[in-house]
Structures are given as structure tokens and as C-alpha cells.
């Protein structure tokens, strides 16, 4: 890259990153400023790389304005948890931090991470230090870097699963930024006298053009929605060992209403690499994006657009150039489903794991359903792990038969009874949306449960209560709940109004299609009722809902992201 930078041509974030002295900016000064609950604008951008977003309570917005008060600022903190695995001790610490400094809930995200909401500025440092005290951190949980690396959620399932999960951790470690800013600002570690000593061998001084997301999966389960990732590795098992990984590039969900050059896209399979090559391949794909991604317009800077602009063959050739070798031909693989398989399962080693549904990923105590208390008590009574899934659920993993009994008792005592939910609800995801997300046009997490109840009653009338159907809702088109892969997808357009998308498939390998626009709840139910009735009467043996609506031409299958309408 030449040294000359024409800043006028670039997005303002590029300059902020470049001038930040490797992500320091004026964060220290912003944190110390007692006049406001917010931080300086440039610091709001830089703080993301440290794992936090400035937000404000949108429920209070109008009233605060009326009272001429600044917005009720607080921060979201995202904990980096590659593959989603934490110990019971770590769970207990995060649980207590959520009571001490946040809004008394833990949010399990769609990328196997934890979020705290509602942390005020003066508590940021204490929360980050608490997180680090149990050997977790928030580095690169957000920002223009590689984010939390996702994995299939249960290393305890078999030795092969453990191997694949370990790959996710290796990739995550390798791609961490190397600036010492995080340790200086949040952990009070000694300032380096000449901080220019910081170098970012992978990211450089402007980091990536945009966020970057990686996942690994092991067929037949597509539980990390591998086709939605910038970069995916699909484990290929041959003769009961991991022969290597197929490499997938260019998935992504985010779109912007009214901007038709934005679209969700499924990743392309570009080849196969050996287990030893995985980290190198990850690094080189990141470098090609670093050097070729769009730094002018952040709406068009994700890897999916770089690939469509370059063409997949030129992109591949560039990756090979950086690698110094070619990938092998991709191997065959097949997914049978995405989402999670709920309930108890026995691992190869005789230990038990319970995949527990967590509606909207929100761990809270509500109306006698005391999930937060239950999980705290479980953490105090087991020696295994907690594993977050990419579908906002949690696995209580690796427990003995005795511990299994204890877990069941604790869940029962706290009103948390797994296994009594519809196939639709089990496969539901809702992004956070209101009241914290600054980009939300409509509710999602706080509303989807109610809508699901209403759709359940239609399903019930047709004997479909147990039928597994993937339903996802987001409060805006950014796609945080991966709605464009759902069999039934809702995307918020404005308060109380949603676009309805149909025709994703049950294994997460097909984009859905816009069916109806800007619907109210009554309109949603009126639209879905005849389709569900038709499905109940006319589906063929084993036919999934998403496949049925395509076969019956309710919607037309979308073959490439750029054909997507929103
Ligand atoms: Fe997301 C921005 C929440 C997974 C695409 N996402 C946001 C922000 C930070 C809003 C903001 O920028 O101010 C949301 C914070 C809301 C809040 O109050 O908590 C937010 N995203 C989430 C989470 C918490 C949703 C959830 O309910 O679980 C997920 C956290 C994941 C994690 O642990 O790292 C989350 N976001 C995703 C995913 C799904 C995934 O990664 O598998 C996507 C779609 C996949 C993709 O990236 O293409 C996603 N989030 C976005 C985008 C659109 C990016 C784009 O390419 O256009 C934005 C907006 C942006 O970046 O400008 C965004
Ligand atoms: Fe916010 Fe939109 Fe993401 Fe939902 S999809 S959390 S509304 S940015």
C-alpha cells in the first residue's frame, strides 16, 4: 500500500482509526469527564474495538428530551467467548457483575457471546476488570476486526467436536489485535512510554475496512449458520478423523432499506485446506479483505461486496497469492439442520449435556420463570461447562449422571422446564432491538414471544405444534438474528410494522424471499393463516415449511444475494 492517504475519499472512521494511536483515542479523558454520561464521538467508535457500545435508553428518550436532559446514556459490553465455552466460576462472576453494574440480566448473543446492557460510564472500568478477573475479556468483541469466532456448540459431544472447537479458539487468538491499549485503559497496566512501539502485524494502523466474522461447523449440523459468515470452515470427517476443512467465503446478512446495492449473501465454497493450514488461510483471507475492502462507503465494505466486486475467481487467485499455495478441491458435505437440538444428550465419554432454550437469549428472572437464579444455582453445583450456542441458547455441558439429577431438580424448582415448547418457539431467534439498540425501527426480543404464541395457536389448530419451523425477527434490516435464513423471517420497518420473508430452509443453506411488506400484527396473522393451513393439508411426507412455500410458489427461490429485494 502506498503511504499517501486521500482522507477526503474515505469514510470518516478511517481517519479516526488511523489517528487513534492504536485504539487509544481520548478514551481515558472521555471516561474521566464527569459532566456527561457519554464519551466523545471518536471514542464511541474506538470503544467498539474494546468490546463496548455507547447506547441510551430509548424508552426514556421522549421524556428526557421533554425535561431537557441528555439521553439516559449507558453502555453495552460484549464479552469475547470463542466457541461460547465458559466455566461455572466464570458464569457466576458474569452473573454477579450483571447485578452489580448492569441491568440484572445477561444476554446470550447470536455469536455465542455474553452482553451486559445498561452499564453506566463510571462502572465501565469496574465491569471490564471483573470480566478480566476470571480470565475473560472483551477485546475485539466489536469493531473493524475479527469478531467472536463461532463454533458448533458442544465440544463435549465427541473428540472430533472438541478438535473443531479448539480450531475456533486458535483462529480467535491468532487474529486478536496486538495493541496494548486495552490493557492500559481498562486494566491500568503500565503505559508504554513510546506507544508508537505498538504494531498491528495483521491489521495495520487502520484495521479492517469493516467487521469480520468467522465460524467453524461440523456437519450434519449447521448450528453456527456457516453460510452467513465472512469466512467459514466446515470440518470434513473421513475415517473418523478430521481430514481438513472446506473453506467458505463471503456470507453476510446486513442490508439497508432503500439501498439496493446492499443485500444478504450466502458464502461460496472455495476449496479445502488441511487442519494445519486453517489459521494461515484465515489470516490470508483477512489480509485480502484488509487490502481490497471498500474504505469509502461502510455500507459496502463487508467481504461479500469485495468478492462480488472482484469476482470470486479473482478473489480466490488473490488469496492463493497471499498464501503461496492453492486450496485443494472442496469435499462433499451435507447439513441436515441449523438451530440447536434441545434436551439432554450423552457424549461419547458418558457425560451428559443439556441444551436449554433461552427465549431471545435473555437470562433473567421473570414471573416465576427464574432462569437466572436457576443457572446461578446450577453453576454452583456442577463441574462441567456452560456453552453458549449461536442460537442464543445455553448448554449445561459435561455433567455426571448425579449432577444431571441435580440440574433437573434446580430447573424444576425455579420453574424452568425444558421440553414443553412448540417446534416454532424452539427455533426462534430475536435480536435485541428496543430499548437499547440505537438502530432498531421496531421491537424484536420484547415482541417475538407474543407473536409466536399467536402463530402457535394457528399451528395448533392444524396439529403442527411440534413441527420445527425456523422463525427469526429483527428490529431493522442489519440482520443480527440472521432473519434472511429463516423459514419465516420478520424485519422491522417501523414501530409495529414488519416485512415478512418466507422460504429459507431448515438447514440454513437458502436465503428467504420478501413475501409481504410493512405488515401489522393482524396482517401478519392473516397472511400466515392460509399458508399454514395449506402446509398442514398439502405438504408431502417430511416436507419442511420453507421448502413447501417454495414448491407451492408462495415465493420464488433467490439464487444469489444480489437478487434479494428488501
Ligand atoms: Fe449485530 C450492529 C446486536 C449479531 C449484523 N448489532 C449491532 C448493534 C451493535 C447496534 C449498533 O451498531 O449500534 C446491536 C446492539 C444491540 C444491543 O442493544 O445489544 C447489535 N448483533 C447484535 C446481537 C447482540 C444480536 C443478538 O440479539 O444476539 C449479536 C451480537 C453478536 C456477537 O456476540 O458478536 C449480533 N449482527 C449480528 C449478526 C449475526 C451473526 O454475526 O452471526 C449479524 C449479521 C451477520 C453479518 O454481520 O452480516 C449482525 N449488527 C449487524 C449489522 C449489519 C452489518 C452489515 O454488514 O451491514 C450492524 C450495523 C453495523 O454494523 O453498522 C449491527
Ligand atoms: Fe439492532 Fe437491527 Fe441488530 Fe436488531 S438487527 S440488534 S435492531 S442493529
Q: What domains can be seen in the chain, in order of their start residue?
A: 1-150+175-194+349-419 (3.90.480.10), 425-563 (3.30.413.10)
Asked if residue 194 has pLDDT above 70, the reply is: no
Better-scored residue on pLDDT, 1 or 445: 445
The single-letter DSSP state of residue 338 is -
Distance in Å, CA 431 to ligand 2 centroid: 6
Closest among 207, 85, 210, 216 to 149, alpha carbons compared: 216
pLDDT tier at 192 (50, 70, 90 boundaries)? low
Distance in Å, CA 275 to ligand 2 centroid: 35
Question: How many beta carbons lie within 10 A of that of residue 437, not counting itself?
Answer: 22
Question: How many beta carbons lie within 10 A of that of residue 525, not counting itself?
Answer: 16
Task: State if residue 236 touches ligand 2 by the CB under 6 angstroms criterion.
Answer: no
**Are 30 and 46 a contacting pair, CB within 8 Å?**
no
**Are 498 and 481 a contacting pair, CB within 8 Å?**
no
What residues does ligand 1 touch, defined as CB less than 6 Å away? 53, 55, 76, 78, 109-111, 113, 115, 147-148, 211, 213, 228, 252-254, 302, 361, 392, 431-432, 436-439, 478-482
pLDDT tier at 418 (50, 70, 90 boundaries)? low
Q: Residue 350, SS3?
A: coil
pLDDT tier at 348 (50, 70, 90 boundaries)? confident
Q: Using CA atoms, how far apart are residues 205 and 15, in angstroms rounded to an integer?
A: 10
The distance in angstroms from the start CA to the end CA of the chain is: 36
Question: How many beta carbons lie within 10 A of that of residue 7, not counting itself?
Answer: 11
Q: What is the pLDDT of residue 419?
A: 60
The single-letter DSSP state of residue 43 is H
pLDDT tens-digit map of 300-320: 999 999 999 999 999 999 999
- Per-residue b or e along 86-97, where b marks 16 or more CB atoms closer than 10 Å to that residue's CB: bbbebbbbbbeb
Active site residue 476: yes
Q: What are phi and psi of 99, to 5 degrees?
A: -80, -35
pLDDT tens-digit map of 130-185: 999 999 999 999 999 999 999 988 887 888 999 999 999 999 999 999 999 999 99
248, containing H or E segment: strand 241-249
Distance in Å, CA 474 to ligand 2 centroid: 6
- pLDDT > 90 fraction of the chain, expressed in percent and rounded: 92
pLDDT tier at 196 (50, 70, 90 boundaries)? low
Whether residue 220 has a cis bond before it, omega within 30° of 0: yes
**Are 338 and 254 a contacting pair, CB within 8 Å?**
no
Q: Using CA atoms, how far apart are residues 160 and 245, in angstroms rounded to an integer?
A: 13
Partners of 409 in beta bridges: none
Q: What is the pLDDT of residue 372?
A: 98
Q: Using CA atoms, how far apart are residues 548 and 554, in angstroms rounded to an integer?
A: 9
Asked if residue 195 has pLDDT above 80, the reply is: no
The residue annotated as part of the active site, out of 404, 437, 472, 510, is 437
Provide the mean pLDDT of the chain.
95
The residue annotated as part of the active site, out of 480, 493, 510, 544, is 480
**Beta strands 85-86 and 106-108: pairing type?**
unpaired
Q: What is the pLDDT of residue 1?
A: 47
Q: What is the pLDDT of residue 191?
A: 60
Closest among 451, 452, 453, 481 to 338, alpha carbons compared: 481
Q: Using CA atoms, how far apart are residues 352 and 384, in angstroms rounded to an integer?
A: 9
Asked if residue 413 has pLDDT above 60, the reply is: yes
Q: Using CA atoms, how far apart are residues 518 and 527, in angstroms rounded to an integer?
A: 12
Q: What is the pLDDT of residue 559?
A: 87
Active site residue 169: no
For 197, the grid coordinates are 512501539
Beta strands in 250-367 (DSSP E): 268-273, 343-346, 352-356, 362-363, 365-366
Asked if residue 229 has pLDDT above 80, the reply is: yes
The residue annotated as part of the active site, out of 211, 295, 362, 493, is 211
Asked if residue 106 has pLDDT above 60, the reply is: yes
Q: What is the pTM of this model?
A: 0.97
Distance in Å, CA 475 to ligand 2 centroid: 5
Mean pLDDT value of segment 190-196: 57
Q: What is the pLDDT of residue 338?
A: 93
Amino acid at each position: 500500500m502506498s503511504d499517501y492517504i486521500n482522507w477526503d475519499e474515505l469514510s470518516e472512521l478511517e481517519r479516526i482509526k488511523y489517528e487513534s494511536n492504536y485504539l487509544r483515542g481520548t478514551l481515558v479523558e472521555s471516561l474521566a469527564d464527569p459532566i456527561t454520561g457519554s464519551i466523545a464521538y471518536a471514542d464511541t467508535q474506538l470503544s467498539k474495538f474494546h468490546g463496548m457500545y455507547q447506547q441510551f435508553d430509548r424508552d426514556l428518550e421522549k421524556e428526557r428530551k421533554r425535561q431537557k436532559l441528555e439521553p439516559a446514556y449507558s453502555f453495552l459490553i460484549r464479552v469475547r467467548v470463542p466457541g461460547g465455552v465458559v466455566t461455572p466460576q466464570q458464569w457466576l462472576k458474569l452473573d454477579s457483575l450483571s447485578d452489580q453494574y448492569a441491568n440484572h440480566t445477561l444476554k446470550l448473543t447470536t455469536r455465542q457471546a455474553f452482553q451486559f446492557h445498561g452499564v453506566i460510564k463510571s462502572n465501565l472500568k469496574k465491569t471490564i476488570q471483573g470480566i478480566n478477573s476470571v480470565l475473560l475479556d472483551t477485546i475485539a468483541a466489536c469493531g473493524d476486526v475479527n469478531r467472536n469466532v463461532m463454533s458448533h456448540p458442544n465440544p463435549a459431544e465427541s473428540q472430533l467436536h472438541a478438535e473443531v472447537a479448539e480450531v475456533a479458539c486458535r483462529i480467535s487468538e491468532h487474529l486478536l489485535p496486538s495493541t496494548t491499549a486495552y490493557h492500559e485503559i481498562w486494566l491500568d497496566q503500565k503505559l508504554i512510554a513510546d506507544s508508537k512501539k505498538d504494531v498491528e502485524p495483521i491489521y495495520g494502523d487502520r484495521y479492517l475496512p469493516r467487521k469480520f466474522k468467522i465460524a467453524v461447523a461440523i456437519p450434519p449440523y449447521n448450528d453456527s449458520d456457516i453460510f452467513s459468515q465472512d469466512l467459514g470452515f466446515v470440518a470434513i470427517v473421513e475415517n473418523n478423523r478430521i481430514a481438513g476443512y472446506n473453506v467458505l467465503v463471503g456470507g453476510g446478512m446486513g442490508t439497508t432499506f432503500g439501498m439496493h446495492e446492499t443485500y444478504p449473501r450466502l458464502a461460496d465454497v472455495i476449496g479445502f485446506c488441511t487442519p494445519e493450514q486453517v489459521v494461515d488461510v484465515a489470516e490470508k483471507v483477512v489480509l485480502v479483505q484488509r487490502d481490497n475492502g471498500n474504505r469509502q462507503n461502510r455500507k459496502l465494505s463487508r467481504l461479500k461486496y469485495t468478492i462480488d466486486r472482484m469476482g470470486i475467481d479473482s478473489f480466490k487467485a488473490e488469496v492463493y497469492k497471499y498464501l503461496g499455495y492453492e486450496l485443494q478441491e472442496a469435499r462433499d458435505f451435507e447439513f441436515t439442520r441449523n438451530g440447536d437440538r434441545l434436551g439432554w444428550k450423552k457424549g461419547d465419554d458418558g457425560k451428559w449435556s443439556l441444551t436449554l432454550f433461552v427465549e431471545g437469549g435473555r437470562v433473567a428472572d421473570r414471573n416465576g420463570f427464574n432462569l437466572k437464579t436457576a443457572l446461578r444455582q446450577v453453576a454452583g453445583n456442577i463441574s462441567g461447562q456452560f456453552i453458549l450456542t449461536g442460537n442464543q441458547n445455553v448448554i449445561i455441558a459435561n455433567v455426571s449422571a448425579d449432577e444431571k439429577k441435580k440440574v433437573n431438580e434446580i430447573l424444576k424448582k425455579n420453574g424452568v422446564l425444558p421440553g414443553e415448547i412448540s417446534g416454532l418457539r424452539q427455533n426462534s431467534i430475536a435480536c435485541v432491538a428496543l430499548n437499547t439498540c440505537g438502530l432498531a425501527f421496531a421491537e424484536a426480543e420484547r415482541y417475538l414471544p407474543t407473536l409466536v404464541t399467536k402463530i402457535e395457536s394457528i399451528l395448533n389448530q392444524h396439529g403442527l405444534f411440534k413441527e420445527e419451523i425456523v422463525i427469526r425477527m429483527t428490529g431493522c434490516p442489519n440482520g443480527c438474528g440472521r432473519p434472511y435464513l429463516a423459514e419465516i423471517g420478520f424485519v422491522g420497518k417501523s414501530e409495529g410494522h414488519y416485512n415478512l420473508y418466507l422460504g429459507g430452509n431448515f438447514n440454513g443453506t437458502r436465503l428467504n424471499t420478501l413475501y409481504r411488506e410493512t405488515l401489522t400484527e393482524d396482517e401478519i396473522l392473516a397472511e400466515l393463516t392460509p399458508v399454514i393451513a395449506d402446509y398442514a393439508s398439502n405438504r408431502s411426507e417430511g416436507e419442511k415449511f420453507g421448502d413447501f412455500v417454495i414448491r407451492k410458489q408462495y415465493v420464488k427461490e433467490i439464487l444469489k444475494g444480489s437478487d434479494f429485494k428488501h
